[in-house]
Amino acid sequence: HAVRDAFPDGNPIQVVAHRGASEDVPEHTLAAYRRAIEDGADALECDIRLTADGELVCVHDWRVNRTSNGRGAVSSMELADLATLDFGSWKGQHTDGEAPDTTDDERSSVLTLERLLELVADTERRVELAIETKHPTRWAGQVEERLLELLRRFGLDAPPPGERSAVRVMSFSSRSLRRVHTAAPELPTVYLMQYVSPRHRDGRLPAGVRIAGPSMRILRANPGYVARLHRAGHRVHVWTVNEPADVDLCVRLGVDAIITNRPKQVLSQLGR
Ligand code: G3P
Ligand code: CA
């Protein structure tokens, strides 16, 4: 298949750090993303949610219970409330040491999308971002609106003419992707799939979506799906690929991006 806009350094498979280098460092913390960049990840994945005072924060679950010492819904807390919580200790101590320029604060504070965009902007080499909108229906467009506003401020809402976009927006919600596509048609969108609905069995995706985001489980059960998606003109970004055998399968199937909690191991398996 023709990869229409290959990664600039010519690598056929992009390695995307899922929630940062989240196997080693508490997910969605600045430290996890710094580590992913040090590990050589091509791109960073993050989930975003809106706080009660309209800030986008990088948190996966709708509640803070699993990944912090607090309790309650992200959407009912203000950024200042979240800032009092410890998002690092739940993961315990690690044996592989700290990233050299990582402070305790970066390992334990809630991360705003704005801060993550600053980190990427301050990184000398190119690092792409795969931003996933979570719970987009509850806020009737506010998540997407705020996201595009931030991307615009960083000059990331559209790629420079003739170039590949450094940002893509992912969602399980086709409605969320439609909102993004309508407001920023040049921003690539990724339709995430936990299972393949009959509508998408032939490889076609919701209107405007360029990239398919099937789970690794879909690929194990139905490896032929990658070729079908490619024939329909889509690139294929697979999540969450942590086991060496799954990485091998992704390579054999010619997927375009591997989203993993272990960017370092996957890069080394790919010979990079
Ligand atoms: O990268 C896509 C993947 O993150 C989707 O699942 O639950 O980890 O957000 P989840
Ligand atoms: Ca995600």
pLDDT of 12 above 90 = no
- Show the beta-strand stretches assigned E in 183-267: 189-193, 211-214, 235-238, 257-260
Average pLDDT estimate for 2-12: 59
Average pLDDT estimate for 115-141: 90
pLDDT of 97 above 60 = no
pLDDT band at residue 11 using 50, 70 and 90 as cut-offs? confident
CA atoms of 231 and 242, how far apart (whole Å): 26
Radius of gyration of the chain (CA): 18
Q: What is the DSSP string of 118-187?
A: HHHHH-SS--EEEEEE-STTTTTTHHHHHHHHHHHHTT-SSPPTTS--SEEEEES-HHHHHHHHHH-TTS
235-238 and 211-214 beta bridge pairing: parallel
pLDDT of 95 above 50 = no
Tell me if residue 9 falls in helix, strand or coil. Answer: coil
pLDDT of 102 above 60 = no
pLDDT-above-90 percentage for the chain: 87
Average pLDDT estimate for 23-38: 98
| Ligand 2 centroid from CA 45, angstroms | 7
Residue type (1 letter), 185: P
- Is the distance from CB of 74 to CB of 59 less than 8 angstroms? yes
Atom of ligand 1 nearest to the CA of 47: 9
As for how many domains the chain has, the answer is 1
DSSP letter at 29 equals: S
Residue type (1 letter), 138: R
| Phi/psi at 75 (5° precision) | -70, -15
Ligand 1 within 6 A of CB of 239: yes
1 falls within a domain: no
pLDDT band at residue 2 using 50, 70 and 90 as cut-offs? very low
pLDDT for the residue 103: 63
pLDDT for the residue 1: 36
pLDDT of 139 above 90 = no
pLDDT for the residue 255: 98
pLDDT of 4 above 80 = no
Please count the residues of the chain: 272
pLDDT for the residue 5: 53
| Phi/psi at 260 (5° precision) | -140, 150
172 falls within a domain: yes
CA atoms of 196 and 33, how far apart (whole Å): 30
Atom of ligand 1 nearest to the CA of 130: 1
Average pLDDT estimate for 25-54: 97
Q: Hey, whose CA ends up nearest to atom 7 of ligand 1?
A: 60
Beta-carbon count within 10 A of 161 CB? 6
211 falls within a domain: yes
- Is the distance from CB of 238 to CB of 250 less than 8 angstroms? yes
8 falls within a domain: no
The two structure tokens encoding residue 208 = 């405007």
Q: Hey, whose CA ends up nearest to atom 10 of ligand 1?
A: 60
- Write out the catalytic residue numbers: 18, 60
Provide the CB-side half-sphere exposure for 74 (13 A, CA).
27
Average pLDDT estimate for 141-166: 96
Ligand 1 within 6 A of CB of 45: yes
pLDDT of 261 above 80 = yes
pLDDT of 247 above 90 = yes
The two structure tokens encoding residue 62 = 């709708």
Average pLDDT estimate for 225-254: 98
Ligand 1 within 6 A of CB of 27: no
pLDDT band at residue 140 using 50, 70 and 90 as cut-offs? confident
Tell me the CATH number at 262. Answer: 3.20.20.190
7 falls within a domain: no
3 falls within a domain: no
Q: Which residue, among 56, 16, 7, 10, has the nearest Cα to 37 in the 3D structure?
A: 16
**Alpha-carbon dihedral of residues 248, 45, 263, 69, nearest 10 degrees?**
-120
ipTM of the complex as predicted: 0.99
5 falls within a domain: no
Q: For residue range 216-236, what is the model confidence (pLDDT) as tens digits?
A: 999 999 999 999 999 999 999
Report which bound ligand comes closest to the CA of 239. Answer: 1
Average pLDDT estimate for 44-63: 97
CA atoms of 170 and 46, how far apart (whole Å): 10
Please indicate whether residue 136 or residue 120 has the higher confidence score (pLDDT).
120
State the maximum Cα–Cα separation within the chain, in Å, rounded to a whole number.
49
89 falls within a domain: yes
Per the structure, the complete domain to which residue 113 belongs is given by 14-269
